[in-house]
């Protein structure tokens, strides 16, 4: 039997599946365990199954004398010091692919919601403020169909966005580390993308080169009529600069699923702005996808513990 730490309850029967071959120490709360709890309990563990709310830094890795694998229940792995873990011979695994379509769907949902003022309209009705019968200039939004979509980052999620955009007859331009031949979209440089897109979607992962990539200078390059959508990591955008951009009208609106601090603080100026649609980090949050993520995270962990090749390893 292997000794493993699991920092969240998972959907389905995947923890029971793990228990057939492992002694599982499970953190049962929905609030994440403290760093102290992880430090106290990681020392004798062969494996750890964690989520994005657990930061695995050098100190934890140094404590984890027997650890062979860190399996994260997420596509992002910016919460893990992967380089250091690998230098200690620890395999890091993750759950890409199974959440691509759910995340791309949510991004399109945010895009349409902010462009067509869906949430504003909903809250107007709920507040009892829908007082006038239909008239031609009431709550006008911005068209999506036929517009230019700029995608920053062309990984799995970027490609899933291209497919959806084609259904809306959008012109798609993109910027990423390299050109891709297998997509119906034009590679452009980042400033061109920002200056020419009606919708800018961020689909990069968070790392040193993407931290605060959308800063004041980049936001100012966007069209005044354009929208920004982010469901990657909050830290990719300089949130202070974004708030200024929205307050001063440099861009028309924003759809956000992720924030620099999560949960979003109650006093965030974002909450006072109408041209903002917010969701609480729901990119992969469908019943189907979260179940598949549990299967992959558990199987990744077991495969690596046995010395076999995991389904998805971070390299």
Q: Does 52 interact with ligand GLV (rule: CB under 6 A)?
A: yes
Instruction: Write down the least CB distance from residue 109 to ligand GLV, Å.
Output: 16
136/122 Cα distance (integer angstroms): 19
CA 110, 112, 117: angle at the middle one, nearest 5? Answer: 95
Closest approach of ligand GLV to the CB of residue 99, in Å: 6
Catalytic annotation present for 281:
yes
Q: How far is the CB of 314 from ligand GLV (least distance, A)?
A: 12
Site mask for ligand GLV (CB under 6 A), range 264-283, x = bound? -------------------x
Q: Active site residue: 233, 239, 252, 290, which one?
A: 233
Q: Which stretch binds ligand GLV (CB under 6 A): 9-17, 61-69, 72-80, 141-149?
A: 72-80
Q: Does 74 bind ligand GLV (CB under 6 A)?
A: yes
CB 154 within 8 A of CB 174: yes
- Out of 33, 47, 76, 234, name the contact with ligand GLV by CB under 6 A: 76
CB atoms near residue 208 (< 10 Å): 6
Task: Say whether residue 284 binds ligand GLV (CB under 6 A).
Answer: yes
How many residues sit close enough to ligand GLV to count as binding (CB under 6 A)? 7
**Count of CB atoms situated within 10 Å of the CB of 201:** 28
C-alpha 200/C-alpha 36 separation (Å) is: 40
CB 222 within 8 A of CB 251: yes
Would residue 164 show up in a list of annotated catalytic residues for this protein? no
Which of these is catalytic: 54, 281, 290, 295? 281
Half-sphere exposure of 156 (CA within 13 A, CB side): 14
Neighbours of 17 (CB within 10 A): 16
Distance CA 109, CA 279 (A): 10
Indicate whether 33 belongs to the interface with ligand GLV (CB under 6 A).
no
**158 contributes a contact to ligand GLV by CB under 6 A:** no
Smallest gap from residue 284 Cβ to ligand GLV (A)? 5
Please tell me the distance from the alpha carbon of residue 264 to that of residue 243, in angstroms, as a whole number: 13
Contact by Cβ (8 Å): 46, 70: no
Tell me the pairing of strands 276-278 and 253-256: parallel
Catalytic residue check, 262: yes
CB of 285 to ligand GLV, least distance (A): 9
> Considering only 71-79, 114-122, 155-163, 196-204, which stretch makes contact with ligand GLV by CB under 6 A?
71-79
CB of 258 to ligand GLV, least distance (A): 7
Q: What share of the chain is helix, strand, coil (3-state, %, to 5)?
A: 35, 15, 50
| Region near ligand GLV per CB under 6 A, out of 54-62, 74-82, 113-121, 209-217 | 74-82
Question: Hey, which residues are catalytic here?
Answer: 233, 262, 281
User: Which parts of this chain interact with ligand GLV (CB under 6 A)?
Assistant: 52, 74-76, 99, 283-284
């Amino acid at each position: 039997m292997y000794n493993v730490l699991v920092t969240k309850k998972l959907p389905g029967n995947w923890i029971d599946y793990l228990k057939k071959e492992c002694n599982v120490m499970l953190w049962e709360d929905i609030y994440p365990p403290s760093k102290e709890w992880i430090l106290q309990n990681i020392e004798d563990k062969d494996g750890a199954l964690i989520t994005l709310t657990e930061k695995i830094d050098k100190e934890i890795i140094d404590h984890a004398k027997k650890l062979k694998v860190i399996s994260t229940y997420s596509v992002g792995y910016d919460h893990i010091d992967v380089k250091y873990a690998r230098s200690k011979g620890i395999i890091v695994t993750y759950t890409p692919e199974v959440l691509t379509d759910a995340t791309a769907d949510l991004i399109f949902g945010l895009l349409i919601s902010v462009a067509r003022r869906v949430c504003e309209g909903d809250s107007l009705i709920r507040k009892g403020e829908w007082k006038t019968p239909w008239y031609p200039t009431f709550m006008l939004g911005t068209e999506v169909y036929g517009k230019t979509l700029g995608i920053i980052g062309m990984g799995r999620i970027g490609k899933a966005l291209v497919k959806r955009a084609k259904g809306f007859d959008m012109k798609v331009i993109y910027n990423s580390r390299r050109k891709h031949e297998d997509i119906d979209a034009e590679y452009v440089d980042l400033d061109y993308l920002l200056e020419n897109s009606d919708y800018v979607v961020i689909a990069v992962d968070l790392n040193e080169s993407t931290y605060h990539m959308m800063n004041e200078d980049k936001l100012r390059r966007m069209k005044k009529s354009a929208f920004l959508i982010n469901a990657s990591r909050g830290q990719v955008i300089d949130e202070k600069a974004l708030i200024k951009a929205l307050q001063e009208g440099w861009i028309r609106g924003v759809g956000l699923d992720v924030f620099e601090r999560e949960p979003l603080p109650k006093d965030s100026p974002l909450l006072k702005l109408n041209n903002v649609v917010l969701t609480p980090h729901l990119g992969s949050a469908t019943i189907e996808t979260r179940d598949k993520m549990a299967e992959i995270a558990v199987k990744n962990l077991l495969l690596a513990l046995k010395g076999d090749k995991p389904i998805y390893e971070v390299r």
